[in-house]
Amino acid sequence: MATDRYQRGLDRMMELVSTEHSNTFDHAKLVESYQALDSELGDYIVSFAFGDIYSRDSLTQQEQTMVTISTLAALGTEVQLKLHINVGFNVGLTKEKIVGALIQCIPYIGFPRVLNGLTLVKDVMAERGRTSEAGTD
């Protein structure tokens, strides 16, 4: 059963990913697919980040996304991190801002997890048809 927090998060997620790049992958179906793995996983993904962090107005959307990206990099949750990197681009973050946020995490979470995050940034950029060459992002 969907809670108010979950529904608020799902609504906010669809608002943030509903752009010209929403065809990268179907976010709602991705969340639904996790229900088969663990009945609470989809709720956790949507309620925590989108229902809590993204629903707070004390930070800008870009700040909310950078906090979420840093947190998920620390947790090592790559699928969620990929989704939020997509959101980052949707709310106007640049590759440099996302990479900068990840690099700041190295002393706290270690280089391997940050490297995984940087690889996901490249993957998302490739899916969006963007290159990592200077001046093209």
Residues 6+ apart with CB under 8 A from 95: 121, 125, 130, 132, 137
Report how far apart, in Å, the C-alpha atoms of 109 and of each of 45, 69, 76, 85, 103 are.
21, 13, 9, 18, 10
Domains delineated in the chain: 1-56 (no CATH), 59-130 (1.20.1290.10)
pLDDT of residue 69: 92
pLDDT of residue 126: 93
pLDDT means over runs of 10, the chain (137 residues): 71 71 60 72 70 75 89 85 89 95 93 94 90 50
